[in-house]
Structure 1
Amino acid sequence: MTEIRYEVTDGVAVITLDAPERRNALSVEMSRELIDAARTAEADESVGAVVVTGGAHFCAGAVRSVLADTGRDPVEDEAYRNLETVYAAFTTLGSIAVPTVAAVRGAAVGAGLNLTLATDLRIVSRNARLLPGFAQIGIHPGGGHFTLIERVAGREAAAALGLFGDEIDGDRAVALGLAWAAYDDGDVLDRAVEIAGRVAKDPALARRMVASFRRETAPGGMPWDVAVELERSPQMWSLRRKHGG
C-alpha cells in the first residue's frame, strides 16, 4: 500500500490515510487501498476493532479530478466506476464485520465526512472541522450524505450541515451526537485506540455484538420484541462459550 498505512496491535487494526500533501483527499487508488485494508481487518479473526485516522488532517473529501471527470460524462464507464470506488471506500468501512472507530483531527470534508460518519463511533479533536463542502463547490451531496448525518444526529442536523452547509467543530459535534467524545488534538488517536481496545480484547464477541448493534440501530428502528429475539441467538452463543466448558 502506498497511500494507506495498516498495523495491528492487541487486536486493534489502525488504518491511516497517508497522503498529507493533499490532506488525504480520496483518490481512486487511496480508496482501493482503504477498501483492501478494511477487508484485511475483516478477514483477520484476531482483529476485534478498527480505528481509521488521517493523522493531522482526516480527509479533505474526494480529489477534484475524480469529480471533474465524472462531471464531463457521468455515464462514461471509467468515470462512473472511479466515483463508485470512492463511495465504496466508506460503504465498505461501514459494513465490515468488525466494530469501527474514526479518530478525527483536522478537517473532515464532503466524502471525508461521509467516511467519518460511516464508522460505528467517532472520537474527534476539539478543534476538528466537520463540514459537507458539497454546495460550496457547486455540487449536490453524494454517497448518502443526508442519510449518514440524519441517522446519527437527526433531521435538524442533516438540514443544517447537508442542506445549508454549516460547519461545526469537535465540541459541537459531540453536543449534536455526531461524535462520542472530543479531546485535545494530540490525544485523539490514543483515546480512539483505547476505546477500540476494550471490545477488541474478545474479537469473536466483538463481531457478534456489532452485527446485532447495526441491525437494531438501522434506519427505521426495530420493535423491542423483535430486538429481544434478534439478540437471543448471539447471546446464547456467548453464554455457551463462557460457561459451557
Structure 2
Amino acid sequence: MSEIEYAVAGGIATITLAAPERRNALSVEMSRELADAARAAEADRSVGAVILTGGAHFCSGAVRAVLADAGVDPAEDTAYQNLETVYAAFTTIGSIGVPTIAAIRGAAVGAGLNLALATDLRVVSRTARLLPGFAQIGIHPGGGHFTLLSRVGGRETAAALGLFGQEVDGERAVALGMAWSAYEDDEVEDAAGRLAQPLANDPDLARRAVANFRRECAPEGIPWEVAVEMERPAQMWSLRRKAATS
C-alpha cells in the first residue's frame, strides 16, 4: 500500500505523507514514492503549485533502520544507496520546476525538517515543532542541513538549531523567517491552498517565475547539492560510531 497520496485539483498538486503510525518517518520506499510524486507534478503542465503536507504529523525524520544500516557499514552499496534515496526525497522537492509550499502541522524533525525547508514557502500551525533532532540521537546532521537552515533563517538560526540543537514552535519559526505565517491546526492546509491558488491559475507563469526566483535568491554560501555531499562523510562517521556503541 502506498504511503504517499497524490491528488491534483484546480491546478494544485497535493502530496500527502500518509504513514501516521510512525509519524511519517521516511522509509526508502516512501522516499522513492515522494520523489516520484514530485516529478509527476512537474510533468503535469496543468499544475502551477505543489502543496506538501503530512496531516497531523508532518515528518519525524528518516526511519531509524535506514540510519542504523548506514552506521554498520557506511560504504556498503545498499546502505549508501538507501540513504541517498532518503536525501532524494527532499532534494527532488526542492528542485522541481514548480513552486512548492509545505503545510506543517505537528513535528518536522531531522530529514523531515530538511523536507520542509526544501520547499519555496512554509505555512505552519502555531504549535508545530521544528527541530533538527540529530544531536539528540548522537549523529551529525545530513542532507545539507546547515545550508537549508541558513538560507531560510540566516546564520544565527542555523547555529541555534543545526549546531546547538534548539527547537522552535510555529510562531517562533515565523518570527525567524523560517515560515511565512502560522495558523490554528485546522486552518493550515486551507491557508496553503489560498497561497497556491494564484500560481495554480497560471501554471506557465508560475514555472517561469519560480525558476528566476530561485536563481535570483540563491544563497551566497556553497550550493545545496555540494553541502549534501560535504556533510555526508561526517554523518557516515557518526552513524558508524553510533552503531559500534549500540
Normalising to structure 2: TM-score of the pair? 0.89
Distance 2:133 2:113 in 1: 9
Deviation at 1:33, TM superposition (A): 0.3
Matched residue, 2:131: 131
Distance 2:194 2:13 in 1: 12
Deviation at 1:220, TM superposition (A): 1.5
| Alignment-mate amino acid for residue 101 of structure 1 | I
1:154 aligns with 2:154: yes
How many aligned positions are there?
Answer: 221
Matched residue, 2:70: 70
Deviation string 1:27-78 (CA, Å, 9 cap, x unpaired) is 0000000000000000000000000000000000000000000000000000
| Alignment-mate amino acid for residue 135 of structure 1 | A
Matched residue, 2:144: 144
Query: Which stretches of structure 1, 4 residues or longer, exceed 3 Å deviation after superposition?
Result: none
Distance 2:2 2:89 in 1: 16
- Asked which structure has the greater RCO (Cα within 8 Å, sep 6+), the reply is 2
Deviation string 1:166-198 (CA, Å, 9 cap, x unpaired) is 000000000000000000010000100111111
Distance 1:197 1:44 in 2: 16
Distance 1:86 1:50 in 2: 20
Alignment partner of 1:55: what SS? coil
Deviation string 1:127-182 (CA, Å, 9 cap, x unpaired) is 00000000000000000000000001100000000000000000000000000000
Distance 1:197 1:31 in 2: 27
Matched residue, 1:60: 60
Alignment partner of 1:162: what SS? helix
Matched residue, 2:13: 13
Could you list the runs of 5+ residues in structure 2 that have no partner in the other structure? Answer: 222-246
Matched residue, 1:227: none
Matched residue, 1:171: 171
CA RMSD of aligned residues (A): 0.8
Aligned residues with identical type, % of pairs: 76
| Alignment-mate amino acid for residue 210 of structure 2 | V
| Alignment-mate amino acid for residue 139 of structure 1 | I
Matched residue, 2:205: 205
| Alignment-mate amino acid for residue 196 of structure 2 | A
